[in-house]
Amino acid sequence: MNETVYGIISDVHEHPEFVPFAVHVLKQLGAQKLIVNGDIGGRYGSLRDSQDFTAQILAPLVESGLETFVQPGSHETLDVFEPVVNYFTERHPQLHSALEHPFSEQNGHDLIFLPGSDFTCGGQYLLCASSDKNELPSGKYAITIHNEFIPLKERKQIELLANLDKIAGVVYVINMSDLERLVKRPEQTLVVCHVPPKFGNTSVGIDMAHFGVTNETFDICVGVDLDGKKRYVIHKGPIEAFRAKCQKLGIQEIINRQVVYDGSIFPQREAESWIAYGAPITLKIENRGNVDLRRLYDELGIRKAVSGHFHESVHRAHDASCKQVPEGAFTQELFWNASYLDEMKVGLLKTRDANAAYRNILLREHLRFDSP
């Protein structure tokens, strides 16, 4: 029988030190291969500190000796993710970067990766629909201050614009239409993408999210008071009210000012902290999966996909109609939010040709007996 057991880890924002234990438990529970589905790095202080964060996650994975696939999600940056992943892949042939190898034929099924995210929290791997950004093919782009995307290979043009201070940043675009050429036998295909497709049920859906949204434009200002301490002030409306707030807080100088536009979205925790400062942000609960990805999965006949991203929905699993799929049951249709390691939640997926069964792993339950 063609069976493979994958251990799945994702969303490691604060606790990279949990990874060795997660790998140990997954391996003990039968994982034959490992999948790292994004959010394993971002900006953590200096560039060196940020690279160390991602390296701390990858080291125990390669030490496991298991074949491992790794891809970026919403937070990874080009100067952290790429060099660190390259460092490990050059030394450990069992580690594969999904950016380099998005497709692999496995034991009775095809494993396909769709890296990046449609909502990048400082990350630089941008998952786009084929209709977005004038149908940009996947690859690296410089972004101008007017939000134009120029392929990185157009070096002369980019240098010219950079000299005029017109380059705002660099991004790695992943066009989700790449799936059209990668999917060869949809029934036997498992897609791994940090972002889930859109569903329509908040109580069951793997894409249910708690988030904050603003319906007016405002400024987040960072000032320093007489003691040199940082103070945050939300500014909207008349300048007099802003000045009065600054005076009340003893602010001597504004050192940074960021405009937040009407319609901006915030992760829940960030939204709550800005609300505490008086920001006009409303908390919401909605299905926030990707509409284009859902359409593409439907068109291509993708019926098994693993995601992460929305931490509030971790360990939810259902079919295409949002009917819950029980743990351990082999099914041809499975959409599963497999892991949020910061909460010590990871997953095991067993594939059997066109079928798959999932198991939610609560690492806390293994602390007492299985510690390495």
Report the interface residues with Fe ion, using CB under 5 A.
11, 39
Q: Considering beta carbons, is residue 41 or 60 the nearer one to Fe ion? A: 41
Dihedral angle sign, alpha carbons of residues 290, 296, 299, 305: negative
Q: Considering beta carbons, is residue 9 or 334 the nearer one to Fe ion? A: 9
Residues in the chain, total: 372
| Smallest distance, Fe ion to C-beta of residue 342, A | 8
| Smallest distance, Fe ion to C-beta of residue 327, A | 22
Q: Considering beta carbons, is residue 304 or 309 the nearer one to Fe ion? A: 309
| Smallest distance, Fe ion to C-beta of residue 119, A | 10
Token code pair at residue 149:
């995307």
Q: Considering beta carbons, is residue 4 or 10 the nearer one to Fe ion? A: 10
- List the strands of the sheet with 208-214, edge to edge: 265-267, 208-214, 281-287
| Smallest distance, Fe ion to C-beta of residue 309, A | 6
Q: Considering beta carbons, is residue 7 or 223 the nearer one to Fe ion? A: 7
Is-contact 199 335, C-beta < 8 A? Answer: yes
| Smallest distance, Fe ion to C-beta of residue 13, A | 6
- Compute the distance between CA of residue 340 and CA of residue 342 in angstroms, rounded to an integer: 6
Q: Considering beta carbons, is residue 70 or 221 the nearer one to Fe ion? A: 70
Which residue is listed with tokens 């059209």? 180
Q: Considering beta carbons, is residue 174 or 251 the nearer one to Fe ion? A: 174
| Smallest distance, Fe ion to C-beta of residue 311, A | 6
Which residue is listed with tokens 């994958």? 6
Token code pair at residue 294:
């859902």
| Smallest distance, Fe ion to C-beta of residue 310, A | 8
| Smallest distance, Fe ion to C-beta of residue 194, A | 8
Candidates 83, 74, 84, 174; CA nearest to 123 is 74
Q: Crossing angle, helix 47-63 and helix 19-28, to 10 degrees?
A: 20
CA dist 106 → 4, 172, 190 (Å): 8, 27, 10
Which residue is listed with tokens 């580690």? 95
Beta strands in 30-99 (DSSP E): 33-37, 67-71, 95-97
Q: Considering beta carbons, is residue 268 or 331 the nearer one to Fe ion? A: 268
| Smallest distance, Fe ion to C-beta of residue 75, A | 7
Q: Considering beta carbons, is residue 231 or 316 the nearer one to Fe ion? A: 316
| Smallest distance, Fe ion to C-beta of residue 212, A | 16
Q: Considering beta carbons, is residue 39 or 178 the nearer one to Fe ion? A: 39
